Amino acid sequence: MSQSNETSDNVNNQIDYTTPTPRFSVTNDETLNDGITYLNENGYAVFSDVMNQDEINVNKDLLWNFLENIPNVTIRRNDPETWSDKW
Protein backbone atom coordinates (compact mmCIF):
# COMPACT_ATOMS: atom_id res chain seq x y z
CA MET A 1 0.00 0.00 0.00
CA SER A 2 1.35 3.43 -0.85
CA GLN A 3 -0.16 6.84 -0.48
CA SER A 4 0.51 10.05 -2.33
CA ASN A 5 1.26 13.11 -0.22
CA GLU A 6 1.64 16.62 -1.52
CA THR A 7 4.45 18.59 0.11
CA SER A 8 4.75 22.33 0.52
CA ASP A 9 6.60 22.60 -2.79
CA ASN A 10 3.70 20.82 -4.55
CA VAL A 11 5.73 17.69 -5.33
CA ASN A 12 3.94 14.38 -4.85
CA ASN A 13 5.82 11.76 -2.84
CA GLN A 14 4.79 8.14 -2.53
CA ILE A 15 4.79 6.61 0.95
CA ASP A 16 5.27 2.85 1.02
CA TYR A 17 3.49 1.40 4.05
CA THR A 18 4.34 -2.20 3.14
CA THR A 19 8.12 -2.09 3.63
CA PRO A 20 9.11 -2.72 7.24
CA THR A 21 11.32 -0.09 8.85
CA PRO A 22 14.64 -1.48 10.07
CA ARG A 23 15.57 -1.05 13.71
CA PHE A 24 19.06 -0.44 14.99
CA SER A 25 20.25 -1.30 18.49
CA VAL A 26 22.23 1.26 20.45
CA THR A 27 23.92 -1.51 22.44
CA ASN A 28 26.18 -2.54 19.56
CA ASP A 29 28.62 -0.17 17.83
CA GLU A 30 28.12 -1.78 14.42
CA THR A 31 24.31 -1.57 14.45
CA LEU A 32 24.49 1.94 15.94
CA ASN A 33 26.75 3.05 13.08
CA ASP A 34 24.44 1.31 10.58
CA GLY A 35 21.54 3.25 12.10
CA ILE A 36 23.37 6.55 11.79
CA THR A 37 24.17 5.77 8.15
CA TYR A 38 20.51 4.89 7.53
CA LEU A 39 19.47 8.14 9.24
CA ASN A 40 21.78 10.18 7.02
CA GLU A 41 20.55 8.43 3.87
CA ASN A 42 16.81 8.34 4.66
CA GLY A 43 16.20 11.22 7.05
CA TYR A 44 14.92 8.97 9.83
CA ALA A 45 15.90 5.86 11.77
CA VAL A 46 14.39 3.74 14.52
CA PHE A 47 16.78 2.91 17.36
CA SER A 48 15.99 0.15 19.85
CA ASP A 49 17.29 -0.52 23.35
CA VAL A 50 17.36 3.19 24.18
CA MET A 51 15.51 2.76 27.50
CA ASN A 52 15.06 -0.10 29.92
CA GLN A 53 11.57 -1.34 30.83
CA ASP A 54 11.30 0.82 33.97
CA GLU A 55 12.16 3.94 31.94
CA ILE A 56 9.62 2.94 29.28
CA ASN A 57 6.90 2.55 31.92
CA VAL A 58 7.69 5.90 33.54
CA ASN A 59 7.64 7.68 30.17
CA LYS A 60 4.37 6.04 29.12
CA ASP A 61 2.84 7.29 32.38
CA LEU A 62 4.22 10.78 31.76
CA LEU A 63 2.74 10.81 28.26
CA TRP A 64 -0.67 9.63 29.45
CA ASN A 65 -0.66 12.15 32.30
CA PHE A 66 0.07 14.89 29.79
CA LEU A 67 -2.65 13.74 27.38
CA GLU A 68 -5.23 13.31 30.12
CA ASN A 69 -4.63 16.85 31.37
CA ILE A 70 -5.01 18.74 28.09
CA PRO A 71 -7.76 21.31 28.64
CA ASN A 72 -11.11 20.47 27.02
CA VAL A 73 -9.94 16.94 26.10
CA THR A 74 -11.53 13.76 27.36
CA ILE A 75 -8.91 11.17 26.40
CA ARG A 76 -8.41 8.50 29.08
CA ARG A 77 -5.77 5.77 29.02
CA ASN A 78 -8.18 3.08 30.21
CA ASP A 79 -10.95 3.96 27.77
CA PRO A 80 -9.99 3.23 24.13
CA GLU A 81 -13.21 4.80 22.92
CA THR A 82 -11.73 8.20 23.89
CA TRP A 83 -8.68 7.66 21.65
CA SER A 84 -10.37 9.03 18.53
CA ASP A 85 -9.03 11.78 16.34
CA LYS A 86 -11.66 14.17 17.69
CA TRP A 87 -9.58 15.43 20.58
8 Å CB contact between 67 and 73:
yes
* Percent of the chain whose pLDDT exceeds 70: 84
Quick one: pLDDT at residue 17? 85
Q: What is the pLDDT of residues 22-38, one digit of tens each?
A: 999 999 999 999 999 99
pLDDT band at 3 (very low <50, low <70, confident <90, very high): low
Question: Greater confidence, 4 or 85?
Answer: 85
Residue 56: pLDDT over 80: yes
Average pLDDT in the chain: 87
Q: Which of 51, 22, 49, 24 is nearest to 35 (CA)?
A: 24
